[in-house]
Structure 1
Amino acid sequence: MSDPKRIVIVGAGLAGASAAAGLRDRGFAGEILLLGTEKHRPYELPPLSKGVLLGDKDEPDWVRDESFYEEHAITHRQGVTATRVELGARLVLDDTGGEHSFDRLLFATGSRPRSVPVPGADLPGLKTLRTIEDSLSLRSAFIDAERVVIVGSGWIGSEAAAAARKHGAEVTVVSRSSAPLVSVLGDEVAAVFHGLHTEHGVNWRFGAKVAEFTGGPDGVRGVRLGDGEELTADVVLVAVGAAPRVELAHAAGLEIADDGGVCVDAGLRTAAPDVYAAGDIAAHFHPRYGKRVRVEHWANAKNQGTHVAGNLIGENEPYLNSPYFFSDQYDLGCEYRGLADLDTDELVVRGDLASREFTAFWVRGGEVSAAMNVNMWDDGDALKSLVDGRMKVTAAQLRDDDLAKLAETS
């Protein structure tokens, strides 16, 4: 495999920008073209549902300083969308008429907010949260609103509910689940978040189906549920997850996995020669789990982007990082590492759920498959070691022993 002279990266989010920077960090001296639809330099998404939405800051966390791309000879085309990829011709076409040849290609197209396919889903003013413009607009709407309805009780819906309450709005969350975050955390830990939001005045409609978004040409005015209840609102936010942007890759002929992502091997390579995928769209065969894993969190995009840079120039190393994410809601902060199977894993709790100071472990076959620390910040390195090292432990050890020493000796 000859050394590449020109690498094209389609998608200028965190994964794409991290890959571009990683290429220069590894000494790649060839051409790098970074194509991005947004008219900004690349930025990180977590502040959009946290600091920006809360009003603590007005900008996202930029991946690099404004001068970085020019100083490192990275051609960043802002406001340009790739429209077609011809793998055989090794060519990317964009919506300005540009044609870009490549020796190696990285798809890092990210994801978009999912919609709810019911009448009224196209009403003006219906909110989603994905870009800095979305976040600033939503924050302004929260500040002015008396009543907010949020459809979805995952991480974005939960963080948005906390922000809306901070701004003084009455908040109702509509969810088909039985509790916030239950599909990720299970009943017992999800109950902690349910109680937290309820104490802060959030109203719930669990097990509810959206039948219609109500309103007219002037904008959305509420939500009608499947049982006929109508919830009036000044602001309606749809936060029901994200869909990977794989249309371009699929049209180019790349294989799409059952989870909707682009199939890549352990090293983030697709089946097409010299073509890779990273970040939200990558259905990655993870050696640690022995199956494809697609992760939509910030750390995955950053770490996969940095990692794939090496493979784009011939390092051929598997990506082994465990999933990681964090969340802040009111006075609760948490970090989650690993990948739990709620159907099979044993839940072990260290600390006190009621006080919201605890670490939850999910254990499978005597190994820690995932761990989440809540308002406890001293054991992060130990938790990472326990999860990544697949160390043999007992429930009693996890509850009672010094975690740092346990991580060293297990």
Structure 2
Amino acid sequence: MVDADQTFVIVGGGLAGAKAAETLRAEGFSGRVILICDERDHPYERPPLSKGYLLGKEERDSVFVHEPAWYARNDVELHLGQTVDRIDRAAKTVHFGDDGTLVHYDKLLLATGAEPRRLDIPGTGLAGVHHLRRLAHAERLKGVLGALGRDNGHLVIAGAGWIGLEVAAAAREYGAEVTVIEPAPTPLHGVLGPELGNVFAELHRAHGVRFHFGARLTEIVGQDGMVLAARTDDGEEHPAHAVLAAIGAAPRTALAEAAGLRLADRAHGGGVVVDEALRTSDPDIHAAGDVAAFPHALFGTRLRVEHWANALNGGPAAARAMLGQDVTYDRVPYFFTDQYDLGMEYSGWAPPGSYDEVVIRGDAGRREFIAFWVKEGRVLAGMNVNVWDVTEPIQRLIRSRARVNTEALADPHVPLDGLGA
């Protein structure tokens, strides 16, 4: 039984940590809830950082998970700008802050998230080199894009993943010139495979973005501390006034590793190994969000998911498990993007090599369609592009594991709801 004498500590002030704190109170936990965040901003959601807020369409306050007064009102002890330097599992204590504050925990949640991967090339110390992960990054980048747009400046983006493409779209809306450098042959190659990556390449080319595929950045050239150009391993040089490194993110596992918790191998995305209830190898420590590598029975593998929905749902699931409730975390992975006039939702998990075919329902040329990744007649994943209110039937198809007729799957006149019956 959980009682008022217990202390639950949450390390990480992102969406997963904030929603976990909210869930603990909503479920009636009356003990201490301590939320430790290494940023000075209150917990916020990350999608607006590369979408609405970056574009200036959403106000800064709209990104926060709760209004600032919520934490005191719900008796959540919020420590902003504080870094946890050590977990003592034997003593069940957490050490944090400049003064080495020590708190005891009965249950601990690691929601430490991920951090952007860095370019390991000459020139990354120049003033015009950027990453996008935190609110402070988005604030700086927002100003940079506005200046580039006014001055007809050039932005070079290393990486054609979701962040790279969303920033490319924002930069073009500001009027900046954009070149995207990507070692794979298409954008989003590791997520969508070669079949669908070209949809996004054509979308961006139609809006004036230049792509340089099959190449990597080798040097950022500058003068007087400012960026002038970016060079690639095939000898090309691209003019640049700013460079964005968008080459992925790495789970923040250093704290867990130092505490002796089991970590996942790179093949499973790294991260902290958890069970179906998001428990780590220590039964009193849970992990959720970007840092957690959880087993997914539906896909028969361990997944680490770096998207908004995983933090939104994983934090509450971990909180309920910490309270002793019976929890099986098996959400179908889900994410979304908005780029120019294209809106997209993706459900499932189908990395290249895991499927037999991609079935298209609708008109890919007009960018109004649903794509299904299929193996042996079973739907592994679905992506709806400018087609709405289909996420639930797509996820039901994935969960059903039923064999479907691919001709019917491709026919917009056949209701999705009847295919997995």
Normalized against structure 1, the TM-score is what? 0.96
Alpha-carbon deviation of 1:220? 2.8
Partners of 2:264 and 2:211 in 1: CA distance: 34
Of 164, 177, 180, which residue of structure 2 is paired with 1:157? 164
1:268 corresponds to which residue?
278
2:141 corresponds to which residue?
138
The aligned runs of 1:1-400 (5 Å cut-off) are: 5-59=6-60, 60-96=62-98, 97-145=100-148, 146-258=153-265, 259-345=269-355, 346-400=357-411
Q: Which stretch of structure 1 is more off in the superposition, 209-218 or 242-251?
A: 209-218
Is 2:417 the partner of 1:405?
A: yes
Structure 2 spans left out of the alignment, 5+ residues: none
Structure 1 spans left out of the alignment, 5+ residues: none
Alpha-carbon deviation of 1:105? 0.4
Decide whether the 8 Å contact of 1:379 with 1:403 is kept in 2.
no
Partners of 1:316 and 1:84 in 2: CA distance: 29
Letter of the aligned partner of 2:327 in structure 1?
E
Partners of 1:219 and 1:33 in 2: CA distance: 42
Are residues 140 and 2 of structure 1, via their aligned partners in 2, closer, same or farther at CA, if it must alter by over 3 Å?
closer
Decide whether the 8 Å contact of 2:2 with 2:29 is kept in 1.
no
Letter of the aligned partner of 1:403 in structure 2?
P
Alpha-carbon deviation of 1:330? 0.6
Decide whether the 8 Å contact of 1:47 with 1:61 is kept in 2.
yes
| Moved segments of 4+, more than 6 Å | none
Partners of 1:403 and 1:112 in 2: CA distance: 41
Alpha-carbon deviation of 1:217? 4.9
Alpha-carbon deviation of 1:94? 0.7
- Cα deviation per residue 1:343-377 (whole Å; 9 max; x = unaligned)? 13121100011010000001123221100000001
Are residues 405 and 279 of structure 1, via their aligned partners in 2, closer, same or farther at CA, if it must alter by over 3 Å?
closer
Alpha-carbon deviation of 1:216? 4.5
Letter of the aligned partner of 1:92 in structure 2?
V
Decide whether the 8 Å contact of 1:58 with 1:136 is kept in 2.
no
Are residues 92 and 227 of structure 1, via their aligned partners in 2, closer, same or farther at CA, if it must alter by over 3 Å?
same
Alpha-carbon deviation of 1:287? 2.2
Where 1:52 maps in the other structure, the secondary structure is: coil
- Cα deviation per residue 1:171-197 (whole Å; 9 max; x = unaligned)? 100111111112111112111111010
Where 1:44 maps in the other structure, the secondary structure is: coil
Are residues 114 and 233 of structure 1, via their aligned partners in 2, closer, same or farther at CA, if it must alter by over 3 Å?
same
Identity percentage over the alignment?
46
Decide whether the 8 Å contact of 1:179 with 1:206 is kept in 2.
yes
- Cα deviation per residue 1:57-114 (whole Å; 9 max; x = unaligned)? 2315221122211111111111111111111110100132211110000100001111
Normalized against structure 2, the TM-score is what? 0.94
Partners of 1:163 and 1:38 in 2: CA distance: 25
Decide whether the 8 Å contact of 1:382 with 1:403 is kept in 2.
no
Partners of 2:174 and 2:200 in 1: CA distance: 19
Decide whether the 8 Å contact of 2:121 with 2:219 is kept in 1.
yes
Partners of 1:37 and 1:303 in 2: CA distance: 22
Alpha-carbon deviation of 1:405? 3.4
Partners of 1:349 and 1:201 in 2: CA distance: 26
Q: Which stretch of structure 1 is more off in the superposition, 58-67 or 150-159?
A: 58-67
Partners of 2:404 and 2:21 in 1: CA distance: 40
- Cα deviation per residue 1:268-318 (whole Å; 9 max; x = unaligned)? 101113111100000111222222100000000110001111100101311
Partners of 1:20 and 1:277 in 2: CA distance: 13
Are residues 366 and 215 of structure 1, via their aligned partners in 2, closer, same or farther at CA, if it must alter by over 3 Å?
same
Partners of 2:220 and 2:43 in 1: CA distance: 33
